Structure 1
């Protein structure tokens, strides 16, 4: 059996920027002294005249990106999620979101899988912060193929977009001919009748692995990839919940304000159902190897399997 191909979505981001840069001369990339880590260095080598290193000044970078967007450019500002969504929040909100400017935010090193960089760099709040900004599109791709498609879609979308990427290499599974990425549209990866599991980002592949364990126990789970947290695919969320009656959300983010909250907001209005939110439970992360942290915080396939099984069998 061949080994599953794994690629970090931050790599996908860098490669996608170069591909788009060849086609679109208005695309410019900004970074905050982290080009090697965010992989924007790939774009820098290909198009040095369209790359700006703003130094360790993320708030200023947001202002520069805003200005460039008013001059006909399509800027992708890049940094770790903790800095792009956290440190620069006020400028992203007021300089980019408020005037609804055409700026794309490439946020890498999101979630607990930042690993050894530790709690201060493991941003578990970014989806919540960005989802609150009016008009901001929020995308959390699940693998290399989806990440590249998301970058292309972000370029084509007119308005602010937040793109979330990871440091850890994760399985590539969207390599089927009929794969299609569309902002605001979830993807049904497997139909089922007993429970719906909505997953996002690196947790999609973990959920797919958990589904096999659930199937072995006779639990027929519907698996849906929600790559766009905002605007969320409310129609699909409500329809699936109405069909199965039980819903689980899985995210490498706080259970407060991210995918779990977005799904619950839809369901309380359109299709009330019992919900289990799997994510980081109102706590900070810690330093350690990414796979071990994912397991410790209950975000690995085995943990998802056990939690969903217990949830389904509750009544």
Structure 2
């Protein structure tokens, strides 16, 4: 079965019910959380779910997926329908740029490298619609002579540990990108993996322990530092840390 609502309401408001009636008994219910992230825009802080990844990934038995575009969302929904596990799928409100195709590999639990150059200096590990911004940042950096990997970590739980470790070993530095609180989200999950297996300098792009506000989606992404230009700055900063 599937249930769906604004992410602020499901899983935000009914978290305990999900925990007790779904996750505790490992019941394969799928929860679709829409209007997630800052891009809810005019609806403001009360409806901007920026904590949902954190509260769902701490729940035993729960799979957590944040697709990046419409094609990936369809693939995630179809796979989740048959995976036999409680699964949370995170959706945006705004129309998102499409950066994958029907032929782009997708499997829950497996990250995909979408951008790779020879001798990359940093791995950008991103999820959700901001993967598109990460790809824009990669193009900007390439024109400045800085090579990066862009890894689409659409599944936050179970996170693809081997892909993260491999990216860190190749580059020696990481920037994480998410439209979510930095604390407890993708950045935290990546840091947990690397701190145990291959520590490297990390910079985090996401909501810096703040609530959102009303405004146009693009303006809010700019204000809170989640655009390609901010990722470029983070990459340059983490390179300085790596080389320092």
TM-score bracket, normalised by the shorter chain, equals over 0.9
2:196 aligned residue: 269
Q: What's the CA shift for 1:176?
A: 5.8
Segments ≥4 residues shifted beyond 3 Å: none
1:313 aligned residue: 240
Q: What's the CA shift for 1:303?
A: 1.7
1:188 aligned residue: 113
- Asked if residue 304 in structure 1 is aligned to residue 241 in structure 2, the reply is no
2:216 aligned residue: 289
Q: How does 1:173-184 map to 2 (within 5 A)?
A: 173-175=99-101, 177=103, 179-184=104-109
Q: How does 1:199-238 map to 2 (within 5 A)?
A: 199-238=126-165
The answer (yes or no) to whether the contact 2:174–2:238 under 8 Å persists in 1 is: no
The answer (yes or no) to whether the contact 1:79–1:108 under 8 Å persists in 2 is: yes
The answer (yes or no) to whether the contact 1:194–1:312 under 8 Å persists in 2 is: yes
Of residues 94, 104, 109 in structure 1, which corresponds to 2:20? 94
Aligned equivalents of 1:306 and 1:241: distance in 2? 19
Q: How does 1:12-161 map to 2 (within 5 A)?
A: 75-161=1-87
Aligned equivalents of 1:194 and 1:256: distance in 2? 25
The answer (yes or no) to whether the contact 2:63–2:87 under 8 Å persists in 1 is: yes
Q: What's the CA shift for 1:173?
A: 1.3
1:71 aligned residue: none
Aligned equivalents of 2:184 and 2:153: distance in 1? 15
Superimposed CA distance per residue, residues 20-40 of structure 1 (whole angstroms, 9 cap, x where no aligned partner): xxxxxxxxxxxxxxxxxxxxx
User: Larger C-alpha radius of gyration, 1 or 2?
Assistant: 1
Q: What's the CA shift for 1:258?
A: 0.5
The answer (yes or no) to whether the contact 1:214–1:309 under 8 Å persists in 2 is: no
TM-score by length of 1: 0.75
Aligned equivalents of 1:176 and 1:149: distance in 2? 9
Give the structure with the larger helix fraction: 1
Return the structure number with greater relative CO, CA threshold 8 A, min gap 6. Answer: 2
Q: What's the CA shift for 1:306?
A: 2.1
Aligned equivalents of 1:111 and 1:83: distance in 2? 13
